[in-house]
Amino acid sequence: MTKTVIATDNAPAAIGPYVQATRVGNMIYTSGQIPLDPVTMDIVEGGIEAQTKQVMDNLMAVLAEAGADASSVLKTTCFLSDMNNFLAFNEVYASYFLAGAPARSCVEVARLPKDVLVEVEAVAYVE
């Protein structure tokens, strides 16, 4: 088994002991992305919509570095700090999967890193 670390400057650098993504064979496993601006490393301003857009942009940047895109995603796990944001989150999230959404789990959690509103991780397949 060959494990390859995926890293890009187009997504936030890791803020802990992890990598942006790992590729094993044809599978890509991303770390959870939070709404950090990859240049400033600041949390984006705005509510759930702005934070979800940044999370998804970060996720797509990591996937692109691995040779994948939204259509490559098999499964996501989504973490919300408040399930009352579910509908607004879904509107933004869905706009990234125009060719069809992947399998997904979405849960409310007590707290996320840096007290953000949303975090998303993905598993993707590439040829």
Digit-coded pLDDT (tens) for 64-96: 999 999 999 999 999 999 999 999 999 999 999
Note the pLDDT of residue 126.
96
- Which tokens sit at 11? 């997504």
Is the Cβ–Cβ distance between 54 and 44 less than 8 Å? yes
The DSSP 8-state label assigned to residue 15 in this structure reads: S
Q: Dmax of the chain from CA atoms?
A: 42
- Which tokens sit at 73? 């995603």
Domain 3-125 coded CATH 3.30.1330.40: yes
Nearest residue to 30 (alpha-carbon basis) of 64, 1, 71: 64
Note the pLDDT of residue 19.
98
Which of 7, 50, 101, 106 is labelled catalytic? 106
Residue 106 among the catalytic residues: yes
- Other beta carbons less than 10 A from residue 90's beta carbon: 15
Note the pLDDT of residue 70.
98
Note the pLDDT of residue 15.
87
Q: How far apart are the first and last CA of the chain?
A: 17
Residues in the chain with pLDDT < 70? none
Q: CA of 38: how far to CAs of 2, 22, 53, 98, in Å?
A: 28, 19, 13, 24
Nearest residue to 101 (alpha-carbon basis) of 89, 83, 84: 89
Q: Where are the domains of the chain?
A: 3-125
